[in-house]
């Protein structure tokens, strides 16, 4: 079957992946309402396009965190990529570099961050979980900086791990031979199978710091020269606080629907968050983006760029590096077409007037 869109890649990946790995990648918290809403909210929005705008010459480039990107689409951080393909994060990094865009590398990577940054000429941003053991966190930050990562993306929406019931039923654990390659301290590299429930949930509950607050943003900024972005913002007041506390950017994210179920869909949270930021720092958004038209809608509602997670994993599972490359290429082609048909020559010409709320939309 020809794989011509991201939904095709998802279907093909589901046929190839081990069921436990597939459920880990695909699942959301509890009833998976937010998981479904993240994309459904895009479908409720309508594009009110412009015509006769002279769109023959288009440029999709964007600038973020000091990097010139070929398009306003980056790879979101996703854990345990070697469950999808033996090359895992290395393949994703190479594909992102070839596409001229950035990769956010998860703390919970199955390839060491130094190997990932060495595999690509493109920008790598390190997604950071803050551990109870602060020396471990300091070591991760120092290694990311030394390895050439160009930003830290700190996850702030996971003081506790959401209940992903598919993982509970599967007794989720890392397959034999895989480890958390960014962790060096005893007891942190391995994620043994739990006797009951999710092994990842047990790992997170015992090791990640649930007491993070706004003072920790200042602490993180004090231990690195890298830009510090906060990932997991959906409330406009938190967006204002992020700016006040010196964040270099935010990612509007509900963790792919994997934390608090019935949380607001990210594209519905985006306009108020962007308004609160008021252009002072970059705003990215993730969750549910599957079409180039989704990217246009996100840009119209205030995002500077979008991040995609699961589609990258589907491409990786199907064809390794080539699959990730093709997923990014499909999104780029669809975005280019959508921009032209909306009367825009590039992301900078996308305005709020292009989007109107559809049935059931809060906009």
Catalytic residue among 39, 173, 245, 255: 255
Instruction: Compute the chain's Rg from CA coordinates.
Output: 19
Closest CA to 362 of 261, 280, 269: 269
Strand pairing report for 62-64 and 67-69: antiparallel
The sign one gets for the Cα dihedral 189, 194, 199, 205 is: negative
Distance of CA 360 to the CA centre of its chain: 26
Annotation marks residue 173 as catalytic:
no
Domain layout of the chain by residue ranges: 6-50+67-345
Other Cβ atoms closer than 10 A to 207:
17
Q: How many Å apart are CA 326 and CA 119, to the nearest integer?
A: 18
pTM value is 0.97
Question: What does each C-alpha distance from 144 to 28, 62, 92, 141, 227 come to in angstroms?
Answer: 29, 24, 17, 5, 12
CATH code of 6-50+67-345, in short, is 3.20.20.70
- For tokens 């598919």, name the residue: 166
DSSP-derived secondary structure for 332-361: HHHHHHHHHHTT-SSGGG--GGGEEE-TT-
Per-residue tens of pLDDT for the chain, all 363 residues? 699 999 999 999 999 999 999 999 999 999 999 999 999 999 999 999 999 999 999 999 999 999 999 999 999 999 999 999 999 999 999 999 999 999 999 999 999 999 999 999 999 999 999 999 999 999 999 999 999 999 999 999 999 999 999 999 999 999 999 999 999 877 788 887 777 889 899 899 989 999 999 999 999 999 999 999 999 999 999 999 999 999 999 999 999 999 999 999 999 999 999 999 999 999 999 999 999 999 999 999 999 999 999 999 999 999 999 999 999 999 999 999 999 999 999 999 999 999 998 655 656
Alpha-carbon span 259 to 162, nearest angstrom = 4
């Amino acid at each position: 079957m020809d794989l011509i869109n991201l939904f095709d890649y998802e279907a093909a990946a589901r046929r190839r992946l081990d069921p436990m790995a597939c459920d880990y990648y695909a699942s959301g918290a509890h009833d998976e309402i937010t998981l479904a809403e993240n994309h459904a909210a895009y479908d409720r929005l309508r594009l009110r396009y412009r015509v006769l705008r002279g769109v023959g010459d288009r440029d999709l480039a964007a600038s973020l965190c000091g990097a010139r990107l070929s398009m306003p689409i980056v790879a979101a951080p996703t854990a345990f990529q070697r469950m999808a393909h033996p090359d895992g994060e290395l393949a994703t990094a190479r594909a992102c570099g070839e596409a001229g865009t950035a990769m956010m590398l998860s703390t919970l990577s199955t390839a060491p961050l130094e190997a990932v940054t060495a595999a690509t000429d493109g920008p790598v941003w390190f997604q950071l979980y803050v551990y109870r053991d602060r020396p471990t966190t300091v070591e991760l930050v120092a290694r990311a900086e030394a390895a050439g990562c160009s930003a830290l993306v700190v996850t702030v929406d996971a003081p506790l791990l959401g209940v992903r019931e598919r993982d509970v039923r599967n007794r989720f654990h890392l397959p034999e031979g895989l480890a958390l390659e960014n962790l060096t301290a005893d007891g942190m590299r391995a994620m043994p199978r739990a006797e009951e429930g999710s092994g990842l949930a047990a790992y997170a509950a015992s090791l990640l710091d649930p007491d993070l607050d706004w003072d920790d943003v200042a602490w993180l900024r004090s231990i690195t020269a890298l830009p510090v972005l906060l990932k997991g913002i959906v409330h406009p007041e938190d967006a204002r606080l992020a700016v006040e506390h010196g964040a270099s950017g935010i990612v509007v994210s509900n963790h792919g629907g994997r934390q608090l179920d019935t949380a607001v869909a990210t594209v519905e949270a985006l306009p108020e968050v962007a308004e609160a930021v008021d252009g002072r720092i970059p705003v990215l958004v993730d969750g549910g983006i599957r079409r180039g038209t989704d990217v246009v809608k996100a840009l119209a509602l205030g995002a500077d760029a979008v991040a995609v997670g699961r589609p990258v994993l589907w491409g990786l599972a199907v064809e390794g590096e080539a699959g990730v490359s093709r997923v990014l290429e499909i999104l780029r082609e669809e975005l280019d077409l959508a921009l032209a048909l909306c009367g825009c020559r590039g992301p900078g010409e996308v305005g709020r007037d292009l989007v109107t709320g559809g049935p059931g939309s809060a906009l």
